[in-house]
Amino acid sequence: MIQALVFDFDGLIADTESPEAQIWQELYARHGQEFPLDEWVRSVVGATVANLDPVVQLESLTGLPLDRQALHAQAQRTRLEWQAALPPLPGVADYLDSARRLGLRLAVASSSPHSWVDRALRRLGFYDLFDAIICREDAARLKPAPDLFLAALSALHVRADRALAFEDSPNGIRAARAAGMQVVGVPNPITARLGPLPADLTLASLADLSLPGLLGRFGDTLTLRPEQPEDIAGIRRVNENAFQTRAEADLVDLCRQRGKVALSLAAVLEDRVVGHVLFTPVTLEPQYPAGGGLGLGPIAVLPELQGQGIGSRLMRAGLENMRRRDENFVVLLGNPGYYSRFGFKPGRAAGLSSDYGDGDEFQMLELHPGRLAGVGGRVKYVPEFEETGC
């Protein structure tokens, strides 16, 4: 089961490489020369160290002394101006949006510095979508060494065989493969000149295949959806099998019957419900001016499919759904060591208490930072929890 997507930045999220090539092509044309584009691509694009200096090359072609420093400075200024207005490449925004809805983690692994990547991601509105942004400062070696991808996997707490890398260049693909990852190649107009990419799957553009369709190509056909009428029996079966009691299944049914469900999300494989998570409304005493929050649970996966990441996908997808609804916070009871990876902290850190105790197992997550600042209070679950003994 795929848990994460790791993207290169330059040439993959935005085509930052074509503007630089165009700058040198125009400079060469002014001197009556043709820019050696293919040689530049082989020597510079995706390389750790650029092995071709376009100005030195132009000097040798023309036999004229050139102001190397001034030409490089002008090219740099022009490149930054052009790159600052670049849109994302086709399909990128849809992939990032779909990934969040599908409960996937996201990272960037780039050989460029944070000063460039972070600024560009913020301009594009993508910065906050990523769980980790790994750049040249974060690894001892750059691509084609695997260090950047290994650092991204470590930051995401995801195994290499449960992540997909997206790259536009052969060096990037070699780096991801050396980290143990499968790779989707998406060449841009510049890296396409290097010939076929050594990827597991190559797309001309991310707009050519939806993310669910791409995941299916890698054997991941998990569907996450708000419960449908045909899912109800399967949801009950999942909860009964996962907990070996009827209490949680009865709670879900009772909340559904009484209209106490904020979200009931089913995980479906081959038309069979294999996992489920429930969100119900909670209130605060004294009353919270912004309304209330949500209680998460139960969350369940069929025993024979546990440990494959279905629960993690359900958790992230459910939280993302609630975040998009502009809900305030989520509380739950569970193992702090497990739920902390999703951002949960002890409820008492926000001044919250509950009828289920106030130890580390009672945890909370602000869906939007600051929503619980200065609030505090006692969380009250819907009465169906007490009625069913949950």
CA–CA separation, 207 and 253 (whole Å): 40
Fill in the amino acid letter for 359.
G
Query: Of residues 8, 147, 168, 231, which has the active-site annotation?
Result: 8
10 Å Cβ neighbour count for 35?
A: 21
Is residue 281 within 8 A of residue 269, CB to CB? The reply is no
- Closest residue by Cα to residue 152 from 169, 173, 135, 129: 135
CA–CA separation, 61 and 39 (whole Å): 14
What number of residues does the chain have? 390
- Closest residue by Cα to residue 329 from 265, 276, 281: 281
CA dihedral 333, 356, 353, 248 (to 10 degrees): 40
Q: Could you tell me where the DSSP H helices lie in the chain?
A: 17-30, 37-44, 54-62, 68-83, 92-101, 114-124, 147-156, 170-178, 211-217, 232-243, 247-257, 310-324, 336-339, 384-388
What letter would DSSP give residue 86? P
User: What residue has token string 């739950």?
Assistant: 332
CA–CA separation, 9 and 88 (whole Å): 10
CA–CA separation, 122 and 219 (whole Å): 33
Fill in the amino acid letter for 96.
L
Fill in the amino acid letter for 99.
A
CA–CA separation, 341 and 154 (whole Å): 12
| First-to-final CA distance of the chain | 30
Is 8 considered catalytic here? yes
* Residues noted as catalytic: 8, 10
